[in-house]
Structure 1
Amino acid sequence: MSTETLTTPTSALRTPRELRRARGAATTPAARVRLVIAHVCIYLAALVFVSPIIYAFFSALKPNTEMFSMPPTLIGSELRWSNFVDVFSYGPFVTYIANSFLVAILGTLVVLVVSTTAGYAFGRLRWKGRDAVFILFLATLMVPAEVLVIPMFQVMQWFNWVDTYQALVLPFAFGAFGTFLMRQFFRGIPYELEEAARVDGAGPIRSFLQIILPLSKSAVAVLAVFTFLTFWNSYLWPLIVTVDYDAHGTLPVGLASFAGLTGTRWDLQMAAAIISMIPTTLLVIILQKHLVKGIAMAGLGGR
Structure 2
Amino acid sequence: MLNKIKLPMALMLSGAVVLSSCSKKKDEQIAQQSSQIETIQQELAERDSTYNELIGMLNKAEEQVAEISRRENLVVSTSGEEGKKKEGQLLEELQLIDELVKESNASIQNLKAQLKKSNVQLNAFQNRIDKLSDMLDVQKETITQLRAEVASKNQQIELISSKYDSIQIQTVDQKQLIAEQTREIELLNDTNNKLNKVHYAVGTFKELKEKGLVDKEGGFLWIGRTIDLKATANTEDFVETDIREFSELKIDASKFELVTEHPKDSYTIVQDEINENVKYLKVTDAKKFWEISNYLVVTTKG
TM range (shorter): under 0.3
**TM-score, with structure 2 as normaliser:** 0.24
Q: Which has the higher strand share?
A: 2
Relative contact order higher in (CA < 8 Å, ≥ 6 apart):
1
**TM-score, with structure 1 as normaliser:** 0.24
